[in-house]
């Protein structure tokens, strides 16, 4: 019998027992749908994070305090410091560092007239837009002259302007606001960036670094972040080594002591994100694998019932010349078709669930994204389940004696 005819016979047999076919494939539908739903959400998140990090470029480097270094039982804590003086030393002594900025962050009440709004305030310097690829849309960012004269100026995100009713476009520029208890003049409005992982990148207020020390206290300058751009991507590992050597010397860290800071590269962040999200996908995949195993056993049981019900049909086919191979292929194709139909339905349902969940999540959560490998894996695994668990029933059908089969009532 031709392969196409076998498929048509298989589909007719499945359609003749629609409810039984649906219940049989339910396990595969649920399993595949769960995998696709999780993969679509995880891949969408990974795509967003990768896009955000690639936006700052492969030359992006962060230095942050190593908080874990002072944690754990039996560890004697020592002062943990990372200061702008360290950043200036890096700028002056490490070759290949093109631009570097300090960063202090904290929540503050922002006021304008009778309106107020809680926002995240970032203290940094004039190179922030270049280092972080986050530019001003209206007005300007603060200059080195603003920093040297300690002018009370601020650059705000577009949501801050909306919440304080400062107007749209360039209207907020020149208006007076209060950041905490400090009066400041708005000199710029940042470009719109949207939300990522619960952080609204438009709900930010940028102030000069020295001004942020007045807001948060001088002690805040002892544990800052340093963000920088290297001259080229090729020298980033070398720059990292030089930064590590310089900071260990400045912080008087002994040969056998752990660093009290961490130098983080863009590539390392991407690898960490990929590893964590990959582990999440693997765990979900393992759980779903058990569900698909159970579904495969269900397919085998139903196919055995089908063989018993169609014993006379098998006898008739063998009596008119059907070979053992023909019977084997027919029932094997039925099992594979049953599994593939379940996999295809699960694929559509899973994507629908993933897309729905992504829309319900707060903020600008990335849209669900199903990569080609996930589709191939889902359909391929469904076919493997159908083949593996269909072999025994198909083999049993092909071994039936035609005389005994024709006598079967």
Q: What are the pLDDT digits (tens) for 179-191? A: 999 999 999 999 9
Asked whether residue 73 carries a pLDDT value surpassing 50, the answer given is no
Three-state secondary structure call for residue 364: coil
pLDDT on residue 406 = 63
Distance, in Å, from the CA atom of 42 to the CA atom of 280, rounded to the nearest integer, reads 8
Domain residue ranges in the chain: 3-52+271-407, 67-259
Write down the mean pLDDT value for the chain. Answer: 81
Contact indicator for 82, 261 with CB cutoff of 8 Å: yes
Choice among 140-144, 214-218, 313-317, 355-359 with the minimum mean pLDDT:
313-317
Distance, in Å, from the CA atom of 208 to the CA atom of 216, rounded to the nearest integer, reads 12
Distance, in Å, from the CA atom of 303 to the CA atom of 338, rounded to the nearest integer, reads 10
| Cα→Cα distances 220→73, 81, 105, 152, 225, Å | 26, 10, 9, 19, 11
Distance, in Å, from the CA atom of 257 to the CA atom of 237, rounded to the nearest integer, reads 22
Contact indicator for 247, 63 with CB cutoff of 8 Å: yes
pTM: 0.65
Distance, in Å, from the CA atom of 248 to the CA atom of 262, rounded to the nearest integer, reads 11
Contact indicator for 117, 160 with CB cutoff of 8 Å: yes
Give pLDDT tens digits for 164-213: 999 888 889 999 999 999 999 999 999 988 776 557 788 999 999 999 99
Distance, in Å, from the CA atom of 133 to the CA atom of 204, rounded to the nearest integer, reads 15
Distance, in Å, from the CA atom of 341 to the CA atom of 382, rounded to the nearest integer, reads 9
| Cα→Cα distances 237→62, 129, 241, Å | 13, 23, 6
Sign of CA dihedral 222, 240, 136, 196: negative
Q: Average pLDDT, stretch 90-104?
A: 92
């Amino acid at each position: 019998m031709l392969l196409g005819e076998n498929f048509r016979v298989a589909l007719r047999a499945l359609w003749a027992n629609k409810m039984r076919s649906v219940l049989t494939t339910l396990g595969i539908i649920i399993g595949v749908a769960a995998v696709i739903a999780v993969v679509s959400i995880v891949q969408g998140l990974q795509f967003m994070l990768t896009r955000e990090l690639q936006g700052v470029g492969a030359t992006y480097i962060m230095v942050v305090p190593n908080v874990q270094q002072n944690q754990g039982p039996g560890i004697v804590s020592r002062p943990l410091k990372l200061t702008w003086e360290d950043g200036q030393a890096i700028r002056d002594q490490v070759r290949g560092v093109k631009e570097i900025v300090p960063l202090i962050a904290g929540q503050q009440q922002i006021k304008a007239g009778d309106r107020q709004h809680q926002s995240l305030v970032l203290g940094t310097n004039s190179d922030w837009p270049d280092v972080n690829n986050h530019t001003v849309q209206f007005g300007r960012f603060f200059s080195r002259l603003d920093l040297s004269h300690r002018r009370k100026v601020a650059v705000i995100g577009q949501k801050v302007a909306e919440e304080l009713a400062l107007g749209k476009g360039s209207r907020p520029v020149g208006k007076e606001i209060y950041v905490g208890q400090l009066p400041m003049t708005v000199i710029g409005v940042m470009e719109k960036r949207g939300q990522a992982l619960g952080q609204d990148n438009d709900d930010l207020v940028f102030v000069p670094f020295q001004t942020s020390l007045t807001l948060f206290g001088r002690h805040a300058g002892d544990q800052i972040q340093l963000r920088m751009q290297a001259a080229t991507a090729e020298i980033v590992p070398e720059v990292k080594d030089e930064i590590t050597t310089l900071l260990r010397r400045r912080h008087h860290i002994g040969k056998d002591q752990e660093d009290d800071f961490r130098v983080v590269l863009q590539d390392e962040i991407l690898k960490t994100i990929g590893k964590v999200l990959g582990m999440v996908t693997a765990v979900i995949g393992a759980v779903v694998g058990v569900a698909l195993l159970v579904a495969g056993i269900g397919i085998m049981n139903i196919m055995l019932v089908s063989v018993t019900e169609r014993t006379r049909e098998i006898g008739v086919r063998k009596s008119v010349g059907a070979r053992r191979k023909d019977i084997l292929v027919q029932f094997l194709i039925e099992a594979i078709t049953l599994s593939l139909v379940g996999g295809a339905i699960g694929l559509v349902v899973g994507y629908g669930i993933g897309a729905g969940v992504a829309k319900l999540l707060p903020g600008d959560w990335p849209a669900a994204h199903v990569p080609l490998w996930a589709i191939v894996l889902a359909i391929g695994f469904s076919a493997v389940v159908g083949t593996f668990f269909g072999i025994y029933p198909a083999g049993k059908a092909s071994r039936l004696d035609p005389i005994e089969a024709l006598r079967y009532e």
